[in-house]
């Protein structure tokens, strides 16, 4: 029975986006006969929401080991809230104990707390256990260095995190046996950045669809009070991050919405969980832009994080679901599949040549309006969006865009399909490690490429 140690500092009952891939794959890993140990943290004061319902989705055979974390009651005096840094020495010690006393075929890092991925190299130096890194976001991002990009947030914290990423990314990836990435753009960037990061070093593995989670969401929908208010307007619901990189998409959307502000039945927009702030905190990101377009009374935002199941319920309750693209064209929004599976009319506003545009072309299920990230043709994009919204307002119950390829989603992008591809890669890596480990001093990546994920 293969044994896999998964490093996921966020884990139920805490809900955070970067643990969803692991959580959805676990039942399929267990069904395939793998023995799974999760190394996570015991954080009694998490910044992310606590959602006990998620515990029911974890298979019984999965063993969960929780490492301590340095309390924010003390770390806040240093201006330090980052979970990875607060638990780094504890996770190192806990992982070292596991690897010293038990045999694991592979260590799998699936987290956006990237500093913890560096533990893979430290543990491999001592125990020679191969490790895989899953890039759900870029570790070292150059977004804020691009022409026209906004100033980076966070002041010295951003500079510190960016400097740490510059030091640790290449050092850590150099000894990883493979890199999984939700976007092929991330792998291309790594190949341009590091000459030793060859074609065989990484595979693309998109996010999966939370097919089983909708059963929980639909049950809650029938038993709990609605999250979206009843209104005579047409409601557009969105749950998820709204960073500065998504402002062009919002600008295009708001310009079109403004044309309906005096209509007998206007559109109202409801944004939830737009920041990573805990409940009761966070700053609205839509206020200034909504005022600029004269639609402040039609835009409602709750920036504090919301639960994962609650985000699915918003997709089920809304009249029109929304997908927003980013100026970072490599950005792969994890909400594409759940939004399409919710079965509601869907609007996608995406930059040209972006991952989101490609996904809608592939899967259908949404009316797609594209825009130039550089700002050219903004009026044309807003006019196209106005036409889409006009058609929807005339027939809200009619399909919007092409019919979604639900069979393709189930076959290629369901949680089961994504888990199967993960295990295909893991099995090849484990087999190679047993048969032909790389000689000392050779490239740490094996020359043959695992099957494309």
Query: For the chain, how big is the Rg over CA atoms in Å?
Result: 22
pLDDT of residue 418: 94
pLDDT of residue 446: 40
Q: Which residues contact 372 (CB under 8 A, 6 or more apart)?
A: 351, 352, 378, 381
pLDDT of residue 331: 78
User: Does an H or E element contain 132, and which?
Assistant: strand 131-135
Of 28, 41, 38, 27, which is closest to residue 3 (Cα–Cα)?
A: 38
Taking the whole predicted model, whether its pTM rises above 0.85 is answered as no
Three-state DSSP at 325 gives: coil
CA distance 18 to 26: 14
The number of C-alpha atoms within 13 Å of 242 and in the hemisphere containing its C-beta is: 26
pLDDT of residue 279: 60
pLDDT of residue 237: 95
pLDDT of residue 403: 85
Which residues make beta-bridge pairs with 228?
A: none
> What domains does the chain contain, in order, with CATH numbers?
3-208+414-435 (3.40.50.2000), 213-406 (3.40.50.2000)
- Is the CA virtual torsion 172, 112, 187, 181 positive or negative? positive
CA distance 296 to 300: 8
CA distance 277 to 283: 8
pLDDT of residue 82: 85
Q: Which residues contact 284 (CB under 8 A, 6 or more apart)?
A: 274, 301, 303
> What is the pLDDT tens value at each position of the chain, 453 positions in all?
899 999 999 999 998 889 999 999 999 999 999 999 999 999 988 888 888 989 989 999 999 999 999 987 776 666 677 899 999 999 999 999 999 999 999 999 999 999 999 999 999 999 999 999 999 999 998 777 776 667 777 677 778 888 999 999 999 999 999 999 998 989 999 999 999 999 989 999 988 888 788 888 888 888 788 999 999 899 999 998 898 889 999 999 999 999 998 888 999 999 998 986 666 566 788 999 999 999 999 999 999 888 888 899 999 999 999 999 988 777 777 889 899 989 899 999 999 988 899 999 999 999 999 998 777 778 889 899 999 999 999 988 888 888 888 888 888 889 999 999 999 999 999 998 877 655 554 444 443 444 444
The number of C-alpha atoms within 13 Å of 249 and in the hemisphere containing its C-beta is: 26
pLDDT of residue 78: 67
CA distance 8 to 10: 5
Residue 381: both structure tokens together:
């994009």
pLDDT of residue 244: 87
Look up residue 245 and give its DSSP letter: G
CA distance 229 to 231: 6
CA distance 388 to 367: 7
> pLDDT tens-digit profile of 100-132?
999 999 999 999 999 999 999 999 999 999 999
Q: How many residues does the chain have?
A: 453
Q: Which residues contact 186 (CB under 8 A, 6 or more apart)?
A: 135, 138, 330
Q: Where in 266-330 does DSSP place strands (E)? A: 267-272, 299-302, 320-324
With DSSP H G I counted as helix, E B as strand and the rest as coil, what are the percentages for the chain, rounded to 5?
45, 15, 40
Three-state DSSP at 301 gives: strand
Q: Which residues contact 273 (CB under 8 A, 6 or more apart)?
A: 239, 240, 241, 302, 303, 304, 305, 306, 311
CA distance 312 to 306: 10
Residue 373: both structure tokens together:
């990230």
């Amino acid at each position: 029975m293969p044994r896999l140690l998964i490093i996921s500092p966020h884990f139920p009952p805490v809900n955070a986006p970067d643990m969803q891939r692991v959580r959805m794959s676990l039942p399929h890993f267990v069904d395939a006969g793998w023995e799974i140990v999760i190394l996570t943290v015991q954080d009694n004061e998490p910044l992310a929401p606590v959602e006990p319902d998620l515990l029911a989705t974890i298979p019984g055979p999965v063993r969960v080991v929780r490492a301590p974390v340095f309390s924010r009651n003390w770390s806040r005096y240093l201006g330090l809230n980052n979970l990875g840094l607060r638990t780094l020495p504890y996770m190192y010690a806990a992982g070292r104990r596991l690897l010293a006393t038990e045999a694991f075929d592979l260590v799998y890092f699936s987290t956006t707390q990237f500093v913890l991925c560096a533990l893979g190299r430290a543990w491999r130096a001592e125990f020679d256990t191969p490790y895989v890194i899953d890039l759900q976001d870029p570790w070292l991002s150059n977004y804020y260095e691009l022409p026209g990009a906004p100033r980076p947030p966070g002041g010295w914290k951003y500079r510190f995190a960016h400097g740490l990423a510059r030091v640790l990314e290449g050092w850590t990836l150099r000894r990883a046996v493979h890199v999984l990435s939700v976007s092929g753009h991330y792998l291309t960037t790594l190949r341009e950045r590091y000459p030793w990061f060859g074609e065989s070093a990484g595979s693309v593995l998109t996010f999966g669809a939370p097919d089983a989670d909708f059963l929980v969401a639909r049950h809650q929908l029938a038993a709990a009070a609605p999250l979206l208010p009843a209104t005579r307007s047409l409601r557009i619901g969105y749950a998820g991050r709204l960073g500065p990189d998504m402002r062009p998409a919002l600008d295009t959307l708001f310009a079109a919405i403004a044309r309906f502000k005096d209509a007998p039945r206007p559109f109202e927009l409801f944004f939830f969980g737009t920041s990573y702030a805990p409940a009761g905190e966070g700053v609205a990101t839509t206020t200034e832009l909504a005022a600029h377009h004269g639609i402040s009374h039609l835009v409602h935002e709750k920036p504090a994080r919301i639960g994962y199941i609650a985000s699915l319920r918003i997709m089920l309750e809304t009249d029109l679901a929304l997908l927003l693209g980013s100026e970072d064209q490599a950005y792969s929004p994890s909400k594409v599949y759940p939004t399409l599976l919710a079965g509601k009319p869907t609007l996608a506003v995406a930059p040209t040549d972006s991952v989101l545009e490609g996904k809608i072309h592939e899967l259908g299920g949404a009316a797609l309006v594209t825009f130039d990230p550089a700002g050219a043709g903004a009026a044309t994009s807003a006019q196209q969006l106005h036409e889409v919204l006009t058609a929807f307002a005339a027939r809200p119950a009619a399909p919007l865009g092409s019919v979604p390829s639900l069979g393709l989603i189930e076959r290629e992008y369901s949680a089961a399909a994504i888990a199967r591809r993960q295990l295909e890669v893991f099995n090849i890596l484990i087999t190679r490690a047993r048969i032909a480990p790389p000689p000392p001093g050779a490239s740490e990546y094996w020359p043959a490429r695992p099957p494309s994920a």
